[in-house]
Amino acid sequence: MGTRVLLVEPNRIVRQGLRVELSRSGAEIVAEPATGAEAIAAAGEHGPDIVVLDLNLPDGSATEVCATLAREDPARPVIVLADPGDEAAVGAVVECGARAYLLKDAEDFDLADVISRVLAGESVIDPRAAAVLIDSRRSAEDAKLTAQELKVVRLAADGLTNPEIGSRLFLSRHTVKEYLSHAMRKLDATNRIEAVRKATQLGLIEGVAQPGAGEHSAQAEVLVYNASGGPGDNSDLKVTPLKIDELRPKRR
């Protein structure tokens, strides 16, 4: 019996193409949900060996779905498929437990091979996303925001007022204001809007690509390696990348 794959892809045309590719490799597609809610239900019903999850879901955040899937079955790997320009989201999905992050426009897109590598214990990240992830971690460490300051900034990015943030985090309005002030000072921002913008640029908030991401392609050749141990091409997805543990932001 082939690998049992849960394919979560909202685009029908893309889903058909992936189904054909995986079927040719001997994989068994146990279900093809198109939304995050359907994916979580299907994972519980079918118990797949691995989940292939599109980053852009019609009913919510793929990072939340990834976190739920990882929490329900930590041993089951999740592979995230993203569109070009979504490199900045790699940190969020890796933090939520994804074992691979692939960009769909890669010249050597071999999903079946990546599934085999992930099931063998490897972690695969497109070199372009890996470069963004490294820079995000370094920038985040330089900013030195505490976990609570980061939560406050992220909620501010969602448009919540100080009282609303306080209600969400069980903090007083004054305490929220203090956290925001500390975060603004560390980010060298003069107001909360600028703080949110700078936090987004540093990769601390998911959803907006960092400026100049394409400039890191040369660096990716040094950071990511293929199976033979030599530097990988920018479009090479058949890689054993940097260890995920080394890429996760340090918790304080």
Between CA 36 and CA 125 the distance in angstroms is 22
pLDDT at 185: 86
Beta strands at 78-82 and 50-54: parallel, antiparallel or unpaired: parallel
pLDDT at 11: 95
pLDDT at 150: 87
Between CA 145 and CA 128 the distance in angstroms is 26
pLDDT along the chain (252 residues), means of 10: 92 95 95 96 97 93 90 95 87 88 90 95 91 70 77 92 92 90 88 88 61 35 33 36 45 47
Q: Helices 111-119 and 12-24 sit at what angle, rounded to 10 degrees?
A: 60
Using alpha carbons, list the distances in angstroms from residue 191 to 95, 181, 194, 243. 28, 9, 5, 37
Beta bridge partners of 60: 57
Place of tokens 């695969």: 124
Within its chain, how far is the Cα of 209 from the centroid?
Answer: 12
Report all structural domains of the chain as residue ranges with CATH numbers, in order of start: 4-135+214-247 (3.40.50.2300), 146-201 (1.10.10.10)
